[in-house]
Amino acid sequence: MRKIILLVLIISPFFCIAQIKISGVIKSDKAVLPHADVVLTNDKAQIVSQTVTGADGNFELEAKAGSYNLNVNHLDYVSFSKKIDLKQPLVVEPIVLVQKENALSEVVINSTPTKVRREIDKTVVNIDRSPITSTGNIFEALSKTQGLVVRNDQISMLGKSGVMISIDGRMIQLTGEDLNNFLKSLSASDVKEIEIITNPSAKYEAQGNSGVINIIYKKIKKDSWSNNMSLVENQAKYGWRTFRNSFSYQRDKLSFLISGVNNSGAFYREERTTIDFEDSPLKLISKQKEKKNDFSTRLMLDYDFTKNTRVGVQYLRMIIMPTTADNVKTTLFDSNNELTNYLLGNVETKDNKNNSIFNVYIDQKLDTLGRKIVFNFDILDYNSRRDSEILSNNYDPEGNFLNVDFANLGNSLQDITNYSAKIDVDYPIEWAKLSYGGKASFSKTNYQLYNYNTITGTPVLNPLQSNQFDFDENIQSVYINGSKKINDKWEAQFGLRGEFTQTKGVSKQADPPEYINKYEKLFPTFYLSYAKNENNTFVVNYGRRINRPGYRQLNPARYFINSQVSSIGNPYLLPSYSDNVELSHTYKNNLSTKFSFSVTSNSYSVIPEVDKTTNEQTIVFRNFFTEYNYSLTENYQLDITPWWKTDSNLFINYNDSKKTDPTVDVDLMKGFEFRFSINNVITFNKSKSIVGEVNFWYDSAYNNVLFHYSASNSLDMAVVFKSLLKGVNLTAGVNDVFNSSPSYAFSKVNGINQSFISYPSNRYFRLSLSYNLGNDKVSKKDRNFGNEEIRRRSN
């Protein structure tokens, strides 16, 4: 049955009704005009057909017989409109556009970040030319985007968890450190917009309990070449730098891009943990120095075989080789809070991660009505190796050596292969815009962990702490999505996605050693928009999503942090499901109000389980609660003066969790959170070549599931000097001026209080120099890969 449905989805676009052809040429007073938008609309202002003029200025459209408006738009020319009656093939007389008086020819240096744009199913934030975000990497750009936050070193939406990140509509399926490294290897200067999709449509994969953050790359124009290079120097306790170079070429039918990024230097992080055992509480301080030297490259090649057929290939390679030296001091006390002894541990970790992705795609236009079909095939090969050596010595209160407390050598290997095929169809018809498609993904993961006891100086394999974990996951999905503008005030969108999942895990440590899981789920989405007038728009939407566990969350192998703390996965961990409802109001596109409610069932989270006998802590994952979130978000944009623009955001959230597994001995927390942020962009001269930015946010103390978090805030400042020389930009800035962004986390598990705080290198000074060579006439959009979900969950 599933094969029949997929076959119908694939072949149905080819059964199209006959159309009448419209053709012509668009010119200026000097030459023909390529890249002009030609749009055919009906008497209700609905788009019937659209296209873009080619290099020769010619265009072709198709439509049924009837009366229409022919509209022509170009960035540098005055728009043109003409009524036509279509009864038979029509060749329109040459259309000559008049150039705008303020059209710019080469490099635009007098613009500032535009305001937020809101659509029926997403919010679009333009970060282009922001002094703070444009010089860093994409991870930093996301962390400083209104509505997004960094918590526990992870990007998330306000009031949501489990967010997914995509680039040009393609999911990045990485988590944790791998996701961060990937985003930090990509330059924010290539990004035009960030789409915040709190309730994604059925076209997006259902993975991720909350929404999708979609990163939109800048486009490059036709018949040109360009080269952009930048050097960014950062200084905190240690220094690190990023060198990036990107070259693009477009001529006739060929488009080519190659880019490379190298990150090198050192990062410092300090972490503090307190565990109040009844008889012997302890305090742990970890001081880490991570040395990085990683490289990533992206190669893309597209070729237009015909005006309707484009074929492209893309290859991405990442090599990440960090080394981390971690000095850990664990201080132990007796029941009277008197010092009994302390442990000094040294942890040396070496990582070697290689990630290769190959993508081939075919983009086939079916007609000039916007109907098209896109095929994607992806191969992913991900492998990583981690060697970790721990030596922990025991000392008395006077500092005298007592004994070796713990010595362990750990070697882990992980290999992931994934093959995926995807088809997407855009098929607008007279009464609605339809899109549908399907995807099949096949993944195989092999993980090996070997732990050796090295107390004697000779490594001795510990079979009880070693493991081999094989995991297969196959997912097939189909979707259909439709939108319709009912009239000038009402617009609706509905979608339905079905996903069929089969998993199989085999582990020497699990009991039983093999487990199989199969499930089929439907994920509906719905949007309804009402434009009361030109100043007031209301939108209500609903969506359902799934959050599948990552591979390491499932893997029962034990990973030691030190002698007292270790982590272990749960092969029986199940997905969680979320239902999200939103009601929003937008006034003049400047003031927006949004009420949200979400409920996540079968939720899973980390539980720091404590053995009161041995005073050892094991971090595990369990499905044990249902989570509820109620939130209010206000966003206001104000141009105080022509040279001072502000964007303010207010967020209030109430979080509540209900335990569903009575065997889990934890205290779930609930309560309110208040967060305020304001971004200020200031232009210092008439030519707008000197632009500054000052951003501030404050987050109150709040509760979330197991943890209570303390209040935190941050102040960031930057200024950019544009075109100091032709094509040269200089930016200087300071991040987290007062080093006030870290937040304490408190929890109570098995009646034992714990606290934790991490101080990464959040406060730093940055100096960036970039140079652009070539012309700015480009027209190709970057793409990403289709099997990114496998990469996200590889960590």
| End-to-end CA separation in angstroms for the chain | 35
d(CA 673, CA 678): 17
Average pLDDT value for residue range 324-336: 90
Q: Are 602 and 578 in contact (CB under 8 A)?
A: no
SS3 assignment for 55-116: CCCEEEEEECCEEEEEEEEECCEEEEEEEEEECCCEECCCEECCECCCCCCCCCCCCCCCCC
- Nearest alpha carbon to residue 393 among 455, 340, 473: 455
Burial class (CB in 10 A: 0-12, 13-18, 19+), 671: middle
Strands 616-641 and 565-568: parallel
Place of tokens 């007038």: 533
Number of domains making up the chain: 2
- Nearest alpha carbon to residue 240 among 152, 349, 137: 137
Burial class (CB in 10 A: 0-12, 13-18, 19+), 43: exposed
178: in domain: no
3-state helix, strand, coil in the chain (%, to 5): 5, 65, 30
d(CA 735, CA 717): 7
The model's pTM: 0.80
Q: What is the pLDDT of residue 32?
A: 78
Percent of the chain with pLDDT over 70: 88
124: in domain: no
246: in domain: yes
Q: Are 170 and 783 in contact (CB under 8 A)?
A: yes
pLDDT tier at 676, thresholds 50, 70, 90: very high
350: in domain: yes
pLDDT tier at 41, thresholds 50, 70, 90: confident
Sheet-wide strand order for 66-74: 47-52, 37-41, 66-74, 77-86
Q: Where are the beta strands (DSSP E) in 252-371?
A: 254-275, 282-304, 309-320, 323-333, 339-365
Boundary residue ending a domain (96, 121, 148): 96
646: in domain: yes
Three-class SS state of 243: strand
Q: Which one-letter amino acid corresponds to residue 105?
A: S
Helix (H) or strand (E) holding 764: strand 764-774
Structure tokens, 518: 């199969």
Average pLDDT value for residue range 109-115: 42
Q: Are 758 and 742 in contact (CB under 8 A)?
A: yes
522-579: per-residue pLDDT in tens?
Answer: 999 999 999 999 899 999 999 999 988 877 788 887 777 666 778 888 888 999 999 9
Q: How many residues does the chain have?
A: 795
pLDDT at 150 over 70: yes
What residues pair up with 128 in beta bridges, in sequence order?
Answer: none
85: in domain: yes
Q: Are residues 81 and 230 in the same domain?
A: no
d(CA 345, CA 272): 14
pLDDT tier at 15, thresholds 50, 70, 90: very low
CATH code, domain carrying 79: 2.60.40.10
Q: What is the pLDDT of residue 579?
A: 94
- Nearest alpha carbon to residue 56 among 248, 223, 219: 223
Average pLDDT value for residue range 714-727: 87
203-244: per-residue pLDDT in tens?
Answer: 888 887 777 888 887 666 677 888 889 899 999 999 999 898
480: in domain: yes
496: in domain: yes
Could you write out the DSSP letters of every residue in 22-41?
EEEEEE-SSSB-TT-EEEEE
Q: Are 722 and 729 in contact (CB under 8 A)?
A: yes
Q: Are residues 88 and 233 in the same domain?
A: no
φ, ψ at 138 (rounded to 5°): -70, -35
Structure tokens, 420: 């995926």
Distant-in-sequence contacts of 426-430, Cβ < 8 A, 24+ apart: 426/370, 426/371, 426/372, 426/373, 427/12, 427/13, 427/371, 428/47, 428/369, 428/370, 428/371
Burial class (CB in 10 A: 0-12, 13-18, 19+), 606: middle
pLDDT at 320 over 70: yes
Q: What is the pLDDT of residue 618?
A: 84
Task: Return mean pLDDT, the chain.
Answer: 84
pLDDT at 598 over 50: yes
SS3 assignment for 319-350: EECCEEEEEEEEEEECCCCCEEEEEEEEEEEE
User: What single-letter DSSP state applies at residue 188?
Assistant: G
Average pLDDT value for residue range 48-58: 79
CATH code, domain carrying 345: 2.40.170.20
Does residue 589 come out as left (phi exceeding 0), alpha (psi in the -120 to 50 range) or beta?
A: left
Could you write out the DSSP letters of every residue in 425-445?
EEEEETTEEEEEEEEEEEEEE
- Nearest alpha carbon to residue 26 among 60, 67, 62: 60
Q: What is the pLDDT of residue 769?
A: 92
d(CA 329, CA 275): 14
Range of the domain at 268: 224-792
User: What single-letter DSSP state applies at residue 137?
Assistant: B
Q: What is the largest CA-CA distance in the chain?
A: 98
Q: How many helices (DSSP H) and strands (DSSP E) are in the chain?
A: 5, 46
Q: Are 1 and 70 in contact (CB under 8 A)?
A: no
Burial class (CB in 10 A: 0-12, 13-18, 19+), 204: buried
Q: Which one-letter amino acid corresponds to residue 21?
A: K
Helix (H) or strand (E) holding 179: helix 176-184
- Nearest alpha carbon to residue 421 among 498, 356, 476: 476
pLDDT at 722 over 70: yes
Q: What is the pLDDT of residue 386?
A: 92
CA atoms within 13 A on the CB side of 584: 26
Q: Which residues contact 101 (CB under 8 A, 6 or more apart)?
A: none
pLDDT at 753 over 90: no
Q: Are 660 and 625 in contact (CB under 8 A)?
A: yes
Boundary residue ending a domain (68, 96, 124): 96
Boundary residue ending a domain (35, 70, 96): 96
